[in-house]
C-alpha cells in the first residue's frame, strides 16, 4: 500500500485519511533520525515490522511517499 506522508515537527500525533498520513514527531531531521521515528510510528500503528515500511520518495522533505509491504 502506498501512502503520502506529511510531517510536522512540533507535536506528536498520527492521523490517517484514506491514502494520506499526517504525522507529528519530536526527532530532529538530522542524520535520518526523523525518518527512523516516522517508520517506527507507522509500523507500530499498522502492526507490522519496521522492515516492511520503505520511504520511496522525500527522504529529505516534509512530504514523503511510503510503501507498506504485506
Residue 27 has pLDDT above 90, yes or no: no
The pLDDT score that the predictor gives to residue 34 is 93
Q: How many CA atoms lie within 13 A of 18 on its CB side?
A: 0
Domains in the chain, please, with CATH? 2-68 (3.30.1200.10)
The pLDDT score that the predictor gives to residue 70 is 79
User: What percent of the chain has pLDDT above 70?
Assistant: 100
In the structure grid, which three cell numbers stand for residue 45, read together? 500503528
CA angle at 67 for the pair 14 and 24, rounded to the nearest 5° = 20
Amino acid at each position: 500500500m502506498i501512502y503520502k506522508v506529511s510531517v510536522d515537527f512540533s507535536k506528536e500525533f498520527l492521523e490517517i485519511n484514506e491514502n494520506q498520513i499526517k504525522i507529528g514527531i519530536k526527532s530532529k531531521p538530522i542524520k535520518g533520525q526523523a525518518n527512523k521515528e516516522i517508520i517506527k510510528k507507522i509500523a507500530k500503528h499498522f502492526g507490522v515490522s519496521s522492515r516492511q515500511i520503505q520511504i520511496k520518495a522525500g527522504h529529505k522533505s516534509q512530504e514523503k511517499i511510503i510503501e507498506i509491504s504485506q
